[in-house]
Structure 1
């Protein structure tokens, strides 16, 4: 295939993506692009980590991975601008944004360092990276969550485009997010880890359409809820796996 042919296919793809007037075809394309972006970002994370010989990518290269996920976030906004420009959220104020940022700062700077240390004899053989992370880990994690929030909002807007009520959209996103997180077991995660992440993702999927479509400051609340789960899970993990009396 010549460069001219490749340019023609790329142009045709973006033309279909931006102008196709068949809702089902357009929705399928958008969902496939969401899946591709999500998968590509995950694969790229491990490629970079292995290429640099890192044991914990976020912890050891926070600036690099922050830029990495910021780039994916910008790409997602550009690819799905035809969806995002049709989103008309209820009013957003500065105060909820400040509250979420303060929540993140308090956790990473004050709460996380004060948590009891995890007993290595109690930790699983293949522990998640956040288990032994400090505040540096959560800088790129914040950008990853931003990227995921854009993809989640896109999925919600795709479902809304069919005129479905928020309750039905919530049921679909709950099932979709729950099933997606079941795949964690393929990476060798413990059954308890997979179970709590799957349950949390299912509950989040059930409420996120209502937050993003019909709640004041919904996007900020959705982001804060997403981030808040990692706070709760980290505290839970440190307490349960601590050897402290």
Structure 2
């Protein structure tokens, strides 16, 4: 479990929440604004399938911004207790993600899309989809860790932190509407994000290598979202 460092001063609980949430939300909103408005101005197609390299670099940039912005929080995070276990876990995570994207997904039948509107990227995902999505998830996880650690430093309970993360993580997915995603999908991702927001803080604060497990749970959700319509829409043999 993380050791919460002593603070030279204590913010009021409401002020601590506002400060932590506003800092994380500001980066999240700024990154989404750049994605939906700046990238198209630069001629980048905002599709994880067809603009995968540019979007990967874009979220790699924002991951660096997150690390720089919240370094004072990350630096106090619990150290690796068993580096060998950490190596093995991260290798397993990387191998699992690569195996799915490069070998499993191409073997599945493509989704049959019959709606008159353009499908979300995740529904018609190609293996290239998971290149930018993996870095996008990394960026989101870095923001979640910053929020969790920021509140933990001010002695908030895991339950309080989880509730705050659920509200913020769910609300931030409203921004998907700017990409033209249908309301039903937006609500679905909001609910899923809120549920994960309840789970991530406990993994991050209480579980060794919890960041890896948090990342993998987040990534797996998108893998399942990609697979399910392909399975149910596949033609009968």
State the TM-score, normalizing by the size of structure 2: 0.83
Q: Secondary structure at the match of 1:57?
A: coil
- 2:235 equivalent in structure 1: 244
Larger RCO (CA under 8 A, 6+ residues apart): 2
| Distance in 2 between residues matched to 1:217 and 1:154, nearest whole Å | 16
* Correspondence list, 1:123-134, <5 A: 123=115, 125-134=117-126
Distance 1:144 1:209 in 2: 19
Aligned pair 1:175/2:167, yes or no?
Answer: yes
| d(CA) in 1 for partners of 2:101, 2:22 | 35
Structure 2 unaligned spans of 5+:
1-6
Q: Contact (CA 8 Å) 1:89, 1:216: kept in 2 or not? A: no
Residue 206 of structure 1 pairs with residue 198 of structure 2: yes
Match status 1:235 vs 2:227: yes
Pick from 35, 38, 42: which aligns with 1:45?
35
Please tell me the root mean square deviation across aligned C-alpha atoms, in Å.
2.6
State the distance in 2 between where 1:219 and 1:244 align: 39
Structure 2 residue corresponding to 1:102, chosen from 95, 114, 117: 95
**CA 173–124 in structure 1, closer or farther in 2 if over 3 Å, else same:** farther
Tell me which residue corresponds to 2:107. Answer: 114
Structure 1 match to 2:211: 219
In structure 1, runs of 5+ residues without a counterpart are: 1-18
Residue 20 (structure 1) shift: 9.2
- Residues 113, 119 of structure 2: 8 Å contact kept: no
Give the distance between the partners of 1:99 and 1:184, measured in 2 at CA.
Answer: 30
What secondary structure sits across from 1:129 in the alignment?
coil
The list of structure 1 runs, each at least 4 consecutive aligned residues, that deviate by more than 4 angstroms after superposition, is 19-22, 24-27, 52-56, 182-188
Q: Distance in 2 between matches of 1:52 and 1:107?
A: 32
Alignment size in residue pairs: 225
**Aligned partners of 1:103, 1:163: CA distance in 2, in Å?**
36
The answer to whether the 8 Å contact 1:83/1:158 transfers is yes
Mapped pair 1:66 → 2:59: no
2-structure distance, mates of 1:114, 1:216: 35
| Contact 2:48/2:129 (8 A) holds in 1 | yes
Name the counterpart of 2:73.
83
The one-character-per-residue Cα deviations of 1:69-127 (angstroms, maximum 9, x if unpaired) are: 11111111111112212221563611111111111111111121122222231x46242
